[in-house]
Structure formats: C-alpha cells, structure tokens
Amino acid sequence: MDQEEVMSLVAVLAFMVKVDEEIHISEKETFRIICNRFDLKSVDLNQILVNPLSLRHLLQDIHTQDAKTLLVNLLALISAKDGIICHSEEHSLLKIMEILGESISDYPFFDQQGMLNIDKVLNYEMQFLAKLPPIDPI
C-alpha cells in the first residue's frame, strides 16, 4: 500500500469516527492504534484533519484490493467499537462499500439481512488489526 492510499484510508477512518457526531473513547483509541501502526506522524494527521477532502475523492485514491478490504474491516471495527452501531455509521459503511465496489457477501460480519452484526465484528478485531503493518520490536 503506498503512502497516498494509507493517507486516504486513515482520512476515511477519521470520517467514520465522527460520523455519528460523537467520538467515543474506544473509537478514538482504535483510531490511534491504526495511526501508530501506519507510523503516521502528527504532521500527517494534521494534514488529514485540517484539509479534509471529499469522501468520494479519498475513496478514489484507494486502488488495491488489500487496501479496500482492510478499509472495510477497519470501518466496521470503528463502527462497532463503542458497543452501538448507529444508523449513520452503518449507512456510511454501506455507501463506502458501494463506491469501492465491495459486496457484503465478501465480509463475514454482515448478517443475512445485510446488517452489521456487532458481535461478529468484535470477534474479528484481532484479525483486522493483524493486517496492519507490524509494530517495530522493542
């Protein structure tokens, strides 16, 4: 994944953290972990948060299938992290997936009605985080 893809991925995640107009501590902590794993510096984060691009523009910068899959997984995780998946989070995730050309049938955390299953998402948390770049050893 190139730096442009990483920056766009993180910017989309930042959008999801605040989409319900409430930033829960667990969402913030998950976002921080993701940023640390991508080795993003304060300057990079500031660029993302101060100069927001349109969501559609950000999604156009996500080209590889690995990046798309990782993004969908992390968006689901951030949505579920506070214990409640609100309508705006689920709607945004489904719209993002549509723009990316992703299908809910490819992701095991959607139920038969096409809704996010919070328990399934949280059960996959460690697998999602394992797909992030490794942390430098101590």
Place of tokens 């995780």: 77
pLDDT given at position 136:
66
The CATH T-level fold of domain 3-130 is: TerB-like (1.10.3680)
pLDDT < 70 positions in the chain: 52, 136-138
Give the gyration radius of the chain's Cα atoms: 14
Find all residues with CB under 8 Å of 131, minimum gap 6, and list them.
70, 73
Residues 122/128/130/135 CA torsion (nearest 10 deg): -100
pLDDT given at position 41:
85
pTM: 0.91
* Domain layout of the chain by residue ranges: 3-130
